[in-house]
Structure 1
């Protein structure tokens, strides 16, 4: 399962967020923890896709880079922990560097639950510098 997650994150890192959406179950629950403009607790592929659209609109040019993946469990209940680097240049020209952790539950290779925790202090400071 680690290889599937790595392959998906390679695509996501290149800006192909549809790779993550394609891995999601129709009723996926996605949470991006924190009280920021990107904070979310949504259900379903359409809402998951909409979050990625919002992410790319607010932070164009910022990419998610896979650092490490740990996976375990049975095919019907696989737990995956992912460490990510968040890097890029903001619209105002300043560099953006952050770290995020992801906790995913997969059932038969489909993402049913996805929780992402990014350093919200760094994220919020960057989002406040940029126009909405």
Structure 2
């Protein structure tokens, strides 16, 4: 289906924006009252309910894991333009500041789209690996890695 092709291309582009720290482009397709949820009791966890808070979250992601690279392995698109569900399975890696360890994680993003806008985004991944990577960054002197969650 042509619609699925364009949705997949758009989702892959959004991951590319994140990999290259293009935050304006990364949040462009978000609805003003988007629901963004990331599991885990750490600086990247929590829930946000507006586009500006998600932008601040992306900016923090870039600061606490500056070398993070997400590789999209599979994307599944289901639905029609007025209600589309997208699953994107990925592998993520980053070099940690201590130079002794590599951050590795694997996850699944679930997007809910309506007419090309992202209304919900939930991230499922190994939250313990994320917390461990953030703790290592904090131990190397990056205080924001253990900051309070960005919530709205």
TM-score, with structure 2 as normaliser: 0.81
Contact 2:19 2:68 in 1 (8 A): no
| 8 A contact 1:28–1:45 mirrored in 2 | yes
User: Which structure carries more strand by proportion?
Assistant: 1
Please name the residue that 2:28 is paired with.
22
Task: Using the TM superposition, give the Cα deviation of residue 90 of structure 1 relative to its aligned residue in structure 2, in angstroms.
Answer: 1.0
2:118 is aligned, of 90, 97, 111, to 111
Aligned residues: 132
Secondary structure at the aligned position of 1:85 is classed as strand
Please report how far the alpha carbon of residue 48 of structure 1 lies from its aligned counterpart in structure 2 after TM superposition. Answer: 0.5
Alignment RMSD: 1.3
Deviations 1:63-114 (A, max 9, x none): 2221211011010100000111111201111211111211110000000000
TM-score by length of 1: 0.92
Whichever of the two has the greater Rg, that structure is: 2
Q: Distance in 2 between matches of 1:82 and 1:45?
A: 20
Counterparts of 2:136 and 2:102 in 1: how far apart (Å)? 12
Mark the runs of 5 or more structure 1 residues left unpaired by the alignment: none
Question: Does the 8 Å contact 1:13/1:66 carry over to 2?
Answer: no
Over 3 Å off, 4+ runs: none
Equivalence for 1:126: 133
Confirm or deny: 8 A CA contact 1:83 1:101 kept in the other structure: yes
